A and B are shown apart, each in its own frame.
Chain A
């Protein structure tokens, strides 16, 4: 067990390293440069101050700003430098907006993780509950309602769900605020909760749809098994049969969907944070990508990849917990 975890941790770190290398190169291949705007700015302000800048001086200025950001070095050396700083916990500064990335990312990560964990809880509780109900009442009205809802959640893109929610609850009913977010311990708690509802619902609906479908079919498979029929025949109560005999075996496929769910919620946070103007990691990623902010893109991707890899590891450990027959290899 310990050996397995250690081995997986090592390979996870290797994956994160590989990914950061790929992103490091790819982001430098994109057209447009994060500091050229800075150069233009500098030149303009100096020209306005009455300074005369000939092309040679402009070039010198550009070289100096490039050198300040370490962009004049060969890419492999840039990467090693970046890696060395990152391992010491220094993600550098934003090249475009000049904030300290570690503080900014820390603040935003708290927001995204807060919303993500809430959505994950809502998704798991409601998804499994609806799936179990649909399976137990197979063929009844509630089953078709849950199944259609599942299809809805998997067909409707997150942004349309958000748009519809904003339209209904923000404009028609005027119940909930349609943008902005702050953590409950950073200001008015009531307002924070009201601002949390729409983003969390948007993030959860797709997952609830998928999870309830998965749970339903997993439960249906188990419901027809011999040991369940025996349990019924012994005269056990419905609750005991469902929870002790069906759920335990039906959990397996659900666990396998868990990794995808976590990834889905983090992927969805990009759209949700853009629509609801939430200051989280997803919004930061889009912003950094749009302005080609190398350091910020690098930091956000590495963190997101790290989360993905770690959640995969957790999922694998959960397999063993759910089904002790599985051997960790």
Chain B
């Protein structure tokens, strides 16, 4: 019986090639890391921003080696000195060396930028994933609560949480993180909703994968890139938020050398020693600018549209 089944006449037989295969030369393997670096370093201003952040990072790691004086030592005989060779940026109202205080403030500024963003990313992404993967009821509750949370002026949240936990470094970091995290919920939730439509998710479900394994194996990796981009973009914002809080006296409490507090303390002397408030303010600008540029670079480097850009 088997012989009766004939191959249809139109089909080539006896191992003939059905159609001509044109051998394409294989594409050279792309080293993702190298490509990332190349695109990242394409713009000089991005590298400049990276350099600025690195300088501040060094100041934040080795403040005691770099600072010419003790940033906390009061010296009322020497207060409000103009810049001189001993005090490169002068001294504040309590006779403390301004440059040393700015250098010691670098660590606080970096922590408030990086730690807040990491914490709010983790909380926000986790909740966003849960919202995108649970039933209608849980999803609705989470997203409506997120809407409500976003409607509270972030400053109010930050001030209240800061007051409850205490205005130390940890308290302020948590306060700012709680002010920022709903943004990540919306971001990740939106990603999940888009990615869920894909056929490979359906295939994965058909193969009997559990929701959790789909979330971790397929959804999360696809969210990483927009999350990283948003994180770097938000770091500048977090630094600004901390500086603003400290400026109005509801951020890090003295004697912490927070740049915002210093700018506010120096404001009373703006007429005779403008550097006292402008110099800490400029330090914030430098850090925020650096973070924003790094963010721009990473966004370009992770953007699929920028693939193959070799300039």
Binding site for B on A (CB under 8 A): 11, 14-16, 18-19, 22-23, 26-27, 29-32, 151, 154-160, 163-164, 166-167, 170-171, 263, 266-267, 270-271, 274-275, 285-286, 289-290, 292, 301, 304-305, 308-309, 312
* Chain B contact residues: helix, strand, loop or mixed: helix
Are B248's CB and A19's CB within 8 A? no
Partner of A290, one of B155, B240, B250: B250
Within 8 A of A (CB), among B243-281: 243-244, 247-250, 260, 263-264, 267, 270-271, 274, 277-278, 281
| In the assembled complex, B289 has its CB within 8 A of some CB on chain A | yes
* Bound CA–CA A18/B152 (angstroms): 10
In the complex formed, the residue of A with least CB distance to B236 is: A155
Q: Which of B144, B156, B260, B267 has the most CB of A within 10 A?
A: B156
* Bound CA–CA A9/B269 (angstroms): 49
| In the assembled complex, B154 has its CB within 8 A of some CB on chain A | yes
Are B285's CB and A171's CB within 8 A? no
Min CB–CB distance A305 → chain B (angstroms): 5
* Chain A contact residues: helix, strand, loop or mixed: helix
| In the assembled complex, B207 has its CB within 8 A of some CB on chain A | no
The verdict on A160 contacting B278 (CB below 8 Å), with A271-B247, A286-B248, A286-B250 known, is: yes
Within 8 A of A (CB), among B189-204: none
Binding site for A on B (CB under 8 A): 144-145, 147-148, 151-156, 159-161, 163-164, 236, 240, 243-244, 247-250, 260, 263-264, 267, 270-271, 274, 277-278, 281-282, 284-285, 288-289, 292
Are B271's CB and A160's CB within 8 A? no
A-B contact pairs, 28 of them (CB 8 A): A11-B144, A22-B152, A27-B160, A29-B164, A30-B160, A30-B164, A154-B292, A157-B260, A157-B284, A158-B244, A159-B260, A159-B263, A163-B263, A163-B277, A164-B281, A167-B274, A167-B278, A171-B274, A263-B153, A270-B244, A270-B248, A286-B250, A289-B250, A290-B250, A292-B163, A301-B152, A305-B152, A308-B153
In the complex formed, the residue of B with least CB distance to A263 is: B153
A to B contact number (C-beta, < 8 Å): 118
Interface pairs A-B: 10 shortest CB-CB: A160-B281, A30-B163, A15-B148, A18-B148, A26-B160, A159-B247, A155-B289, A157-B240, A304-B153, A289-B159
Min CB–CB distance A157 → chain B (angstroms): 5
Min CB–CB distance A272 → chain B (angstroms): 11
The verdict on A304 contacting B156 (CB below 8 Å), with A15-B148, A275-B267, A312-B151 known, is: yes
The verdict on A271 contacting B248 (CB below 8 Å), with A167-B270, A304-B156 known, is: yes
